Amino acid sequence: MAAPYVASVAAKAGLSGPQWASFAGMAYNIGAIAGYISLGFLADAYGRKPVTLFYFALAFITTPGCFPVDPRPAPAPGRGVRERVFQPWPVLVMPVWLPELFPTRIRATGAAFCFNAPRFIAWIGPLVAGTLIANFGGFSNAAMTVATIYFLGLVSAPFLPETRGKPLPENV
């Protein structure tokens, strides 16, 4: 959840924008910690692929709830917790699942490429965020446009092998 969004909602309601943005930031981090802690346990218990698909689906589904059309500032921090539990999953799964997909001789290179290539592309995000918000009619529509990345994850993850309980691939 974007702190500027919560600040704008609070300001429209006559409340302190910076204070509510701080509340939302704290809630966002609480949710992220819950997501970080649950990652390893769930991936080990149920497998990398099913848990990844579950989190991608929930990240996509929870995004519109974080940027409602008729927002009120009071529930905004709670929405931030819910959103952040699921949304860091794509970043969290990379150190757990990616190294298990590559043979030893290219494990570091393959995982590093997959982890950092999206970062190389994401640098443009802050530059176009204002344009997306203005052209798509607000935070909600812009957020859903960006959330299509979770849909792409849902479509592509089924093609990756499940690695839970299997030995790491050796050199081929």
Q: What is the pLDDT of residue 75?
A: 58
Q: pLDDT digits over 155-171, tens only?
A: 988 898 888 888 877 76
- pLDDT of 88 reads 63
* 96-151 pLDDT, tens digit each: 788 888 888 898 898 889 888 888 888 887 888 888 888 887 777 777 787 888 88
Mean pLDDT of the chain: 78
**Of the candidates 47, 70, 50, the residue with the CA atom closest to the CA atom of residue 58:** 50
Q: At what angle do helices 89-101 and 17-46 cross, to 10 degrees?
A: 30
pLDDT value, residue 83: 60
- Domains by residue range for the chain, with CATH: 3-159 (1.20.1250.20)
pLDDT above 90: residue 51: no
Q: Which residues contact 54 (CB under 8 A, 6 or more apart)?
A: none
pLDDT at 45: 93
- 10-20 pLDDT per residue, tens: 787 787 878 88
- Letter for the amino acid at 55? Y
